[in-house]
């Protein structure tokens, strides 16, 4: 019942079975082979497999390919970390909203009227000078799509999923982030249908900025906890 593809047909990066690494490398190497006849690469294998699935499922009446087009367009253009950045910027500039966000993020974010309604149990966790929060899903790839879009490859990768829970400082170093040695770290493993977003600390020197300008400081990684917001000098 479970298909086991021949290993020779799965793409390796320099002989290392590091599927978490190959995504972009293979795309760069092979994406131009649009005819899908590049035998031996995962791309052609997967391109053909996905094409066959779409064709057969459409012929049998399960899906309309035009609906797939619309879904892809939404993920590419509408659903992304710019939505989360709006949430964080509002929390920085509006104390009432900040309290509402920390009390019930699903409800608070819904009031912003983002393109997508927020699913149940979005939970905002607040960074402070004493505490830094990091979000992971060790079992798969759970991620707050509504506010951050689709997760990046590294979030779904074995190195991140394995190390985030027992070596978050090492993971942060991979992102170029160093925290004081006495900062408490809290890792949230998203093992159910609750979803987490980090409310990072507002950068010093940005009090009184407009929500729009504040949003430019908010990086995707700062809302996952693997990064910090930009310095004001980076966006001024």
User: Considering only residues 173-232, where is the footprint of other proteins by CB under 8 A?
Assistant: 174-175, 181-195, 221, 226
16 forms beta bridges with 13
- Residues 69-108 within binding reach of other proteins (CB under 8 A): 70-72, 74-76, 79-80
The DSSP symbol for 8 reads: G
Length of the chain counted residue by residue = 236
Is 137 tagged catalytic?
yes
132 forms beta bridges with 185
Is 141 tagged catalytic?
yes
From 44, 93, 137, 222, the catalytic residue? 137
The DSSP symbol for 13 reads: B
CA distance 167 to 174: 11
CA distance 133 to 222: 10
Residue with smaller CB distance to other proteins, 97 or 160: 160
Taking CB under 8 A as the binding criterion, the range among 85-93, 95-103, 153-161, 205-213 that sits at the site for other proteins is 153-161
Distance in Å, CB of 90 to other proteins, minimum: 21
Longest dimension (CA), the chain: 60
40 binds other proteins per the rule CB under 8 A: no
Is 142 tagged catalytic?
yes
234 binds other proteins per the rule CB under 8 A: no
Question: Strand, coil or helix: what is 189?
Answer: strand
Instruction: Give the residue, chosen from 68, 99, 103, 111, that forms a contact with other proteins under the rule CB under 8 A.
Output: 68
Distance in Å, CB of 194 to other proteins, minimum: 5
Residue with smaller CB distance to other proteins, 11 or 214: 11
Residue 196 backbone phi and psi in degrees, to 5: -120, 145
Question: Tokens for 173?
Answer: 């170093």
CA distance 229 to 216: 9
Distance in Å, CB of 208 to other proteins, minimum: 31
The DSSP symbol for 154 reads: G
Residue with smaller CB distance to other proteins, 86 or 161: 161
Question: Strand, coil or helix: what is 74?
Answer: helix
Is 11 tagged catalytic?
no
Distance in Å, CB of 203 to other proteins, minimum: 21
128 binds other proteins per the rule CB under 8 A: no
- Which positions are catalytic? 137, 140-142
């Amino acid at each position: 019942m479970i298909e086991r593809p021949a290993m020779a047909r799965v793409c390796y990066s320099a002989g290392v079975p590091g599927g978490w690494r190959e995504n972009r490398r293979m795309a760069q190497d092979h994406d131009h082979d649009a005819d899908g006849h590049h035998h031996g690469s995962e791309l052609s294998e997967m391109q053909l497999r996905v094409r066959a699935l779409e064709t057969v499922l459409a012929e049998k009446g399960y899906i309309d390919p035009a609906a797939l087009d619309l879904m892809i367009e939404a993920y590419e253009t509408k659903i992304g970390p710019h939505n989360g950045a709006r949430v964080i910027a509002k929390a920085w500039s509006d104390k009432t909203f900040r309290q509402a966000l920390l009390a019930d993020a699903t409800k608070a974010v819904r009031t912003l009227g983002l393109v997508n309604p927020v699913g149940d149990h979005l939970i905002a966790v607040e960074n402070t000078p004493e505490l830094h929060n990091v979000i992971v899903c060790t079992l798969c790839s759970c991620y707050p799509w509504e506010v951050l879009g689709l997760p990046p490859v590294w979030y779904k990768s074995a190195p991140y999923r394995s190390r985030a829970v027992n070596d978050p400082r090492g993971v942060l170093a991979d992102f170029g982030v160093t925290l004081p040695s006495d900062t408490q770290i809290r890792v949230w493993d998203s093992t159910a249908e609750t979803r987490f977003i980090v409310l990072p600390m507002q950068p010093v020197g940005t009090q009184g900025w407009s929500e729009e300008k504040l949003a430019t400081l908010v990086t995707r990684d700062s809302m996952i906890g693997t990064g910090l917001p930009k310095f004001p000098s980076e966006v001024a």
